Chain A
Amino acid sequence: DAKTTQPNSMESNEEEPVHLPCNHSTISGTDYIHWYRQLPSQGPEYVIHGLTSNVNNRMASLAIAEDRKSSTLILHRATLRDAAVYYCILRDVLGDMRFGAGTRLTVKP
Chain B
Amino acid sequence: EAGVAQSPRYKIIEKRQSVAFWCNPISGHATLYWYQQILGQGPKLLIQFQNNGVVDDSQLPKDRFSAERLKGVDSTLKIQPAKLEDSAVYLCASSWSVSTNEKLFFGSGTQLSVL
On whether the two chains bind one another, the answer is yes
The reply to whether B43 and A99 contact each other, CB–CB distance below 8 Å, is yes
A34 an interface residue at 8 Å Cβ cutoff?
A: yes
B14 an interface residue at 8 Å Cβ cutoff?
A: no
B91 an interface residue at 8 Å Cβ cutoff?
A: yes
Known A43-B91, A43-B109, A46-B104: A95·B45 in contact at CB below 8 Å: no
The reply to whether A99 and B44 contact each other, CB–CB distance below 8 Å, is yes
> Can you list, as one digit per residue, whether each of A14-50 has a CB less than 8 Å from chain B (1) or not (0)?
0000000000000000111010100000111110010
The reply to whether A101 and B41 contact each other, CB–CB distance below 8 Å, is yes
The reply to whether A95 and B106 contact each other, CB–CB distance below 8 Å, is no
The A contact surface, by secondary structure, is loop
Which of A32, A36, A102 meets B101, CB within 8 Å?
A: A32
The reply to whether B42 and A97 contact each other, CB–CB distance below 8 Å, is no
A3 an interface residue at 8 Å Cβ cutoff?
A: no
The reply to whether A92 and B100 contact each other, CB–CB distance below 8 Å, is yes
The reply to whether A36 and B104 contact each other, CB–CB distance below 8 Å, is yes
Rounded to whole angstroms, the CA-CA distance of A51 and B99 in the bound complex is 12
Q: Interface on A for B, CB 8 Å cutoff?
A: 2, 30-32, 34, 36, 42-46, 49, 51, 85, 87, 91-102
Q: Interface on B for A, CB 8 Å cutoff?
A: 4, 31, 33, 35, 41-45, 48, 50, 55-56, 91, 93, 95, 97-109
User: Given A94-B98, A97-B33, 15 more contacts at CB 8 Å?
Assistant: A36-B104, A43-B106, A46-B103, A46-B105, A49-B101, A51-B101, A87-B42, A93-B100, A95-B97, A95-B102, A98-B45, A99-B42, A99-B45, A101-B42, A102-B42
